[in-house]
Structure 1
Amino acid sequence: MKKIGFLSFGHWSPSAHSAARSASDVLLQSIELAVAAEELGADGAYFRVHHFARQLASPFPLLAAIGAKTSRIEIGAGVIDMRYENPLYMAESAGAADLIAGGRLQLGVSRGSPEQVIDGWRHFGFSPADGESDADMGRRHAEVFLNVLKGEGFAEPSPRPMFPNPPGLLRIEPYSAGLRDRIWWGSASNETAVWAAKQGMNLQSSTLKKDETGEPFHVQQAKQIRLYRDAWREAGHARTPRVSVSRSIFAIMNDEDRAYFGRSDGDDQVGIIDNMRAIFGRSYAAEPDKLVDELKADEAIAEADTLLLTVPNQLGVAYNAHVIEAIVKHVAPALAWR
């Protein structure tokens, strides 16, 4: 059994060919798609976070709105760039959104992606400490965030508060119990996957990974997941961790699907991103029976408990609901995911 959700990059463009032509369009359509996905039986609605871009940026208003409009589906991010985040303010926002959603938030965080601007986090008021890289700063922010989510008091109360305080040190409010166990780390390397396991975070692994062995993408990703689980066991955490992988998967059900994705490239790609040799996982696009055979051979999907389907949000809510439905109802059952 696997949980199946969607992952949207939230692109918008004023192009006449786009169904999402403004920020308002993409935000409102994201809510509509989450509602539709829940009705179709999908398990998760996840959204990428990119600053200084025509994409979704601050996630918590959107996640809270989806939480208020849905009742069952998991709601998450994949991923929030921690270089840009004030961990305490983020804990307040996350706690509020999780309470609105009834404890359904699944937050992916990470060091982040290549940026639209030079050192964009500096514009948000953050700079690495002496001897730190920006990646180090992102991990430090993540550690503070995780610590605050434990709900323990740490701030000395004022002797003359505006409102009466409970006894002892004060914690960040609102506090949402259980959210600490629903934080995921988006990892592009084996090393950071092991670090995430030690920190007690779930693992998100996307369609991009550091090329560490030259093997096919899904093989490298499966090895990353196994290393993560080994490190989790060695750390002695009490709960069972969750692991998600992202894939571009399109079942060719009609002529429209064939026009969009009938010529999709079925090979991994290798390139340089952020001075790192990276391997990009292939897309899957075929008739359902052929798709089932191809997906059976994907080792990383087999290792993961959660699959996030990347959706082309600029094609509109109705088409993306069709994409999700085709996988949930026509492909997943044949693979025993449902």
Structure 2
Amino acid sequence: MKKIGFLSFGHWSPAAGSQTRSAADALLQSIDLAVAAEELGADGAYFRVHHFARQLASPFPLLAAVGARTSRIEIGTAVVDMRYENPLYMAEDAGAADLISGGRLQLGLSRGSPEQVIDGWRHFGYAPAQGETDADMARRHAEVFLEVIRDQGFAQPNPRPMFPNPPGLLRLEPRSEGLRDRIWWGAATNATAEWAARLGMNLQSSTLKFDESGKPFHIQQAEQIQAYRDAWTAAGHQRLPRVSVSRSIFALMDDRDRAYFGRNRQSSDQFGAIEPGQQAVFGRSYAAEPDVLVEELAKDEAIQAADTLLLTVPNQLGVDYNVHVIEAILTHVAPALGWR
């Protein structure tokens, strides 16, 4: 059995052919897709966060709205760029969204990807400390966030408060029980995967990672997952960790599918620079008839190693088409692989 969800970047554009023409469309259609995915039996509705772009940005209003409209499906991010975040304010938002959803929040964090503007986080009021990189700053913000969502209080109460305080140091409110175990880190390297394991975060691995060996993407990703699990065991955590991978997978069921994605039949890994001086490997897309997909996905070592698969969806093709994409995988591919 494997949990299967969708991952939306929430692109919107007024270009011809787009079914998602405004920010309002992107948000409202994201809610509708999550509701429909739950009805199909999917396990998760996840959203990517990008700033200064025509994509989904502030995640917590959307997550709260999805949580209020659904009852079972996991709701999450993959990922929130921690270079831009105030960890304490984020802890309050996350606690509220988790309580609204009844404890279904799966919050993915990361350093983030190259952005639309130069040092965009500076516009949000953040800058690396002396000797830090922006990636160091993101991990520092994440560590603060993990600390303040624990049960322990840390703030000295005012001796003359407006309202009565409970005894002892005060914590942030609202706090949601169990949220600390549902924080994930999106790792692009083996080292950051091991760091996430030591801190007790679950692992999210995307459709790209930094190239560390020249091997095919799915093998490098499987090795990253194993390094993460080894580090988790060495850290002595008591619970089992979760691991998700993302993939672009399209079952070619009809002429629409073949028109949109038939050209991806021969897709392969790509190696290239995602930022100056850093080689990355981008995983292939999968597009084929269901029986061929079953054979190809069975050979993907990282998918086999993960407990959760996130299907990236082309959200600008509209809710109805994306429901079709998800349903095809759940109905015609997942059962043959033993995932359902």
TM range (shorter): over 0.9
Letter of the 1:15 counterpart: A
Q: Return the alpha-carbon distance in structure 1 between the equivalents of residues 228 and 44 of structure 2.
A: 22
Aligned to 2:198: 198
| 1:16, distance to aligned residue in structure 2 (A) | 2.4
Aligned to 1:289: 291
SS at structure 1 position matched to 2:174 = coil
Aligned to 2:162: 162
Q: Return the alpha-carbon distance in structure 1 between the equivalents of residues 28 and 87 of structure 2.
A: 27
Q: 2:334 matched to 1:322?
A: no
| 1:248, distance to aligned residue in structure 2 (A) | 0.2
Aligned to 1:250: 250
Aligned to 2:313: 311
Q: How does 1:14-25 map to 2 (within 5 A)?
A: 14-25=14-25
Q: Return the alpha-carbon distance in structure 2 between the equivalents of residues 263 and 252 of structure 1.
A: 11
Aligned to 2:48: 48
Instruction: Write the deviation string for residues 230-259 of structure 1: whole angstroms up to 9, x where unpaired.
Output: 000000001000000000000000010000
Q: Return the alpha-carbon distance in structure 2 between the equivalents of residues 128 and 215 of structure 1.
A: 33
| 1:274, distance to aligned residue in structure 2 (A) | 1.7
Q: Return the alpha-carbon distance in structure 1 between the equivalents of residues 199 and 82 of structure 2.
A: 15
Q: Return the alpha-carbon distance in structure 2 between the equivalents of residues 224 and 47 of structure 1.
A: 23
Aligned to 1:299: 301
Instruction: Write the deviation string for residues 282-328 of structure 1: whole angstroms up to 9, x where unpaired.
Output: 00000000000000000000000000000000000000000000001
CA RMSD in angstroms, aligned pairs only: 0.5
SS at structure 2 position matched to 1:230 = helix
Q: 2:46 matched to 1:36?
A: no
Aligned to 1:60: 60
| 1:149, distance to aligned residue in structure 2 (A) | 1.0
Q: Return the alpha-carbon distance in structure 2 between the equivalents of residues 226 and 26 of structure 1.
A: 36
CA contact 1:151–1:172 (8 Å) conserved in 2: no
Q: Return the alpha-carbon distance in structure 2 between the equivalents of residues 231 and 198 of structure 1.
A: 6
Aligned to 1:269: 270
Q: Return the alpha-carbon distance in structure 2 between the equivalents of residues 183 and 150 of structure 1.
A: 12
Letter of the 1:145 counterpart: F
Q: Return the alpha-carbon distance in structure 2 between the equivalents of residues 25 and 336 of structure 1.
A: 36
SS at structure 1 position matched to 2:51 = coil
SS at structure 2 position matched to 1:291 = helix
Structure 1: gaps of 5 or more residues: none
Aligned to 1:186: 186
| 1:15, distance to aligned residue in structure 2 (A) | 1.0
Q: Return the alpha-carbon distance in structure 2 between the equivalents of residues 145 and 51 of structure 1.
A: 20
Q: Return the alpha-carbon distance in structure 2 between the equivalents of residues 169 and 175 of structure 1.
A: 15
| 1:281, distance to aligned residue in structure 2 (A) | 0.2
Q: Return the alpha-carbon distance in structure 1 between the equivalents of residues 178 and 262 of structure 2.
A: 43
| 1:151, distance to aligned residue in structure 2 (A) | 2.1
Letter of the 1:200 counterpart: G
CA contact 1:250–1:286 (8 Å) conserved in 2: yes
Q: 2:192 matched to 1:221?
A: no
Normalising by structure 2, what TM-score?
0.99
CA contact 1:221–1:300 (8 Å) conserved in 2: yes
Q: Return the alpha-carbon distance in structure 1 between the equivalents of residues 135 and 217 of structure 2.
A: 24
Q: Return the alpha-carbon distance in structure 2 between the equivalents of residues 113 and 57 of structure 1.
A: 14
CA contact 1:251–1:291 (8 Å) conserved in 2: yes
SS at structure 1 position matched to 2:118 = coil
Q: Return the alpha-carbon distance in structure 1 between the equivalents of residues 52 and 237 of structure 2.
A: 37
SS at structure 2 position matched to 1:262 = helix
Instruction: Write the deviation string for residues 120-167 of structure 1: whole angstroms up to 9, x where unpaired.
Output: 000000011111111100000000000111121000000111110000
Aligned to 2:10: 10
Q: Which runs of 4+ in 1 moved over 4 A?
A: none
Q: Return the alpha-carbon distance in structure 2 between the equivalents of residues 97 and 261 of structure 1.
A: 35
Letter of the 1:98 counterpart: D
Letter of the 1:296 counterpart: A
Letter of the 1:84 counterpart: Y
Q: 2:308 matched to 1:333?
A: no
Q: 2:260 matched to 1:231?
A: no
Aligned to 2:175: 175
| 1:173, distance to aligned residue in structure 2 (A) | 0.1
| 1:7, distance to aligned residue in structure 2 (A) | 0.2
Q: Return the alpha-carbon distance in structure 2 between the equivalents of residues 121 and 266 of structure 1.
A: 35
SS at structure 1 position matched to 2:46 = strand
Structure 2: gaps of 5 or more residues: none
